[in-house]
């Protein structure tokens, strides 16, 4: 069959476009090279829904950020995605920084950011007592928020699939040809997909995908950013997102609570680090610690539960690239989506779909657009609700992840959801098992056993994360299947 639209890349952008398109009677396929959605940059970033004062007025980043911020709040409400509009500060430490703070205020005003204020150092410390005495003032933006970024993309992808979008995972696009006016997209394993329109949302690889149709109008460099995630006893140090003034390499080192109750510190910037390079290193992490000391000396880095790195897209245009390609008017680039790409994704998607409909994609609106899901989060229930949940399904009474209090029932729900995870990290992204202090050291084998049992796959075939990340190498002893539960 020939699809009306093929979206390449299931990150925040591809998932948001798929969700928006699924409102219409058009045949859409969402293609992803990994074995799950949201495994690229969308999975590894600062998880901030930015207010919108950073981008220079007149850029596409400015156009989409503040509107995306507003829409993200609505989508999280609709799809029950964890999101807290906690507000952000940009801290100033001298008069030069205060000049930047005033410029950001001007940008924000021009970009339509609501409720901003410029505060004195003392006013900042009244709201955030752990901020350094050296801070002389700050920009405060109450509309910024913290989110679960992969949960956001997954929820949008699930709603799209519920409304008829086909999801093709483990399909790494390697060739795009034109046959009889349509695109024929070939995957690395030889599978083919035909489509009338392509949306190129391949993140840091978007320039490589554009090259497949001969579009060489932009290139993308990469810049790795590394982070600390600290245990929940550090999560209470700050209520707001604490930025320093931005510099030539981006927004600088932030200290921020996460939506899961931890504290995040980072990222550094490593231009030219490589599109696939998500390794962390001592030098970069030491820089993160040293730079964060300017904001606060209260963080105890010995409470680190995890380090990670995400790869920024650094487009040659220094702005988002959104529109039909000069090489083919049925091929749309949604490329160069650097920060604030997560925040902007809903607004970008709305515009992309408007452009597709204007270009001839079927525009009949579905009568029964399904609103989607509300996953049960056992630990958030009241004692009475917990009792009722266990009475209905005893698996909610069996805690598997002790750090995060995640029950067997929630893991089973995830395994029978709209987009079925087949990896330990897929379960972690959906219900949080393995996200706590021990990082799955205790519950990992049990989760593996539940995946094997529910999906009827041999335990040794279950992966940690990406293809090839096997956990078990084979059976020991002479018995049959190990009872991992």
Distance of CA 330 to the CA centre of its chain: 27
Q: Give SS3 for 220.
A: strand
Question: C-beta of 32: minimal distance to ligand FAD in Å?
Answer: 5
Q: What is the CA radius of gyration of the chain?
A: 23
28: β partners: 5
Which residue of the set 50, 240, 260, 330 is catalytic? 50
The interface mask with ligand FAD, positions 412-441, x = CB under 6 A, is ------------------------------
Q: Which of 81, 199, 202, 210 binds ligand FAD (CB under 6 A)?
A: 202
Bond from prior residue into 340 cis (ω within 30 degrees of 0): yes
Q: Is 75 in the site for ligand FAD (CB under 6 A)?
A: no
What is the rounded distance in angstroms from the CA atom of residue 328 to the CA atom of residue 73? 35
Q: Is 34 in the site for ligand FAD (CB under 6 A)?
A: yes
Which phi and psi (to 5°) does residue 195 adopt?
-150, 150
Q: CA nearest 199: which of 9, 343, 326, 347?
A: 9
Q: Is 11 in the site for ligand FAD (CB under 6 A)?
A: yes
Nearer to ligand FAD, 19 or 312 (CB): 312
Q: Which of 22, 28, 35, 42 binds ligand FAD (CB under 6 A)?
A: 42
Q: Which of 17, 18, 31, 452 binds ligand FAD (CB under 6 A)?
A: 31
Task: Enumerate residues 333-392 that contact ligand FAD by CB under 6 A.
Answer: 337-343
To the query of whether residue 287 is one of the catalytic residues in this protein, the response is: no
Quickly list DSSP for 394-439.
GGGG-EEETTTTEEHHHHHHHHTSSS---BHHHHHHHH-TT-STTT
Q: CA nearest 171: which of 286, 32, 338?
A: 32
Strand-strand pairing, 192-200 and 2-8: parallel
Binding part of the chain for ligand FAD, among 84-92, 189-197, 307-315, 413-421 by CB under 6 A, reads: 307-315
> Are 256 and 146 spatial neighbours (Cβ–Cβ below 8 Å)?
yes
Nearer to ligand FAD, 45 or 423 (CB): 45
Task: Enumerate residues 205-224 that contact ligand FAD by CB under 6 A.
Answer: 205, 209
What are the tokens at 376?
A: 């049960």
H helix or E strand, kind and range, residue 266 = strand 263-266
Bond from prior residue into 267 cis (ω within 30 degrees of 0): yes
Q: CA nearest 481: which of 450, 458, 461?
A: 458
Q: Which of 27, 33, 240, 260 binds ligand FAD (CB under 6 A)?
A: 33
Question: C-beta of 308: minimal distance to ligand FAD in Å?
Answer: 9
Nearer to ligand FAD, 131 or 204 (CB): 204
Q: Which of 6, 7, 39, 412 binds ligand FAD (CB under 6 A)?
A: 39
Q: Which of 22, 28, 35, 46 binds ligand FAD (CB under 6 A)?
A: 46
Nearer to ligand FAD, 311 or 452 (CB): 311
Nearer to ligand FAD, 340 or 421 (CB): 340
Q: Is 249 in the site for ligand FAD (CB under 6 A)?
A: no
Q: Give SS3 for 124.
A: helix
Task: Enumerate residues 158-177 that contact ligand FAD by CB under 6 A.
Answer: 172-173
Q: Is 404 in the site for ligand FAD (CB under 6 A)?
A: no
- CA angle, 158 as apex, 444 and 73 as ends, to 5°? 100
Binding site for ligand FAD (CB under 6 A): 8-14, 31-34, 39-42, 45-48, 50, 172-173, 201-205, 209, 225, 267, 310-312, 337-343
**What is the set of active-site residues?**
50
């Amino acid at each position: 069959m020939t699809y009306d639209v093929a979206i390449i890349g299931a990150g925040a952008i591809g998932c948001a476009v798929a969700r928006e398109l699924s409102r219409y009677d058009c045949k859409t396929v969402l293609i992803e090279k990994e074995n799950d959605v949201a495994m690229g940059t969308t999975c590894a970033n600062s998880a901030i829904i930015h207010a919108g004062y950073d981008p220079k007025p007149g850029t596409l980043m400015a156009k989409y950020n503040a509107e995306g911020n507003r829409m993200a709040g609505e989508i999280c409400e609709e799809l029950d995605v964890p999101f807290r509009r906690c507000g952000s500060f940009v801290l100033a430490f001298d008069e030069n920084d205060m000049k930047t703070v005033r410029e950001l205020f001007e940008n924000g005003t021009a970009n339509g950011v609501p409720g901003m204020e410029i505060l004195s150092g003392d006013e900042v410390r009244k709201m955030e007592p752990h901020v350094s005495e050296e801070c002389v003032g700050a920009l405060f933006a109450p509309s910024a928020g913290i989110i679960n970024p992969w949960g956001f993309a997954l929820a949008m992808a699930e709603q799209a699939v519920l409304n008829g979008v086909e999801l093709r995972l483990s399909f790494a696009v390697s060739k795009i040809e034109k046959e009889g006016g349509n695109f024929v997209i070939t995957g690395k394993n030889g599978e083919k997909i035909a489509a009338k329109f392509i949306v190129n949302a391949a993140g840091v690889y978007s320039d490589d995908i554009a090259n497949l149709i001969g579009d060489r109008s932009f290139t993308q460099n990469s810049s790795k950013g590394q982070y600390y995630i600290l245990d929940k006893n550090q999560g209470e140090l700050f209520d707001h997102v604490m930025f320093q003034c931005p510099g030539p390499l981006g927004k600088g080192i932030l200290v921020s609570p996460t939506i899961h109750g931890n504290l995040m510190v980072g990222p550094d910037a490593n231009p030219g680090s490589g599109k696939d390079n998500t390794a962390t290193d001592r030098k970069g992490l030491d820089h993160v610690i040293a730079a964060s000391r300017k904001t606060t000396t209260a963080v105890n880095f010995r409470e680190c539960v995890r380090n990670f790195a995400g790869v920024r897209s650094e487009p040659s245009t220094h702005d988002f690239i959104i529109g039909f390609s000069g090489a083919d008017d049925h091929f749309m680039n949604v490329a160069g989506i650097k920060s604030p790409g997560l925040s902007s994704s809903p607004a970008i998607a709305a515009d992309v779909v408007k452009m597709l409909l204007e270009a001839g994609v079927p525009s009949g609106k579905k009568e029964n657009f399904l609103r989607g899901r509300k996953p049960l989060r056992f630990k958030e229930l009241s004692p009475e609700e917990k009792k009722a949940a266990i009475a209905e399904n005893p698996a909610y009474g069996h805690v598997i992840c002790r750090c995060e209090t995640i029950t067997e029932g929630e893991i089973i729900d995830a395994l029978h959801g709209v987009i079925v995870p087949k990896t330990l990290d897929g379960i972690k992204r959906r219900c949080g098992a393995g996200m706590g202090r021990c990082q799955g050291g205790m519950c990992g084998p049990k989760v593996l056993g539940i995946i094997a049992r529910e999906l009827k796959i041999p335990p040794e075939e279950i992966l940690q994360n990406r293809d090839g990340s096997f956990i078990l190498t084979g059976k020991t002893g002479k018995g049959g299947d190990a009872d991992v539960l």
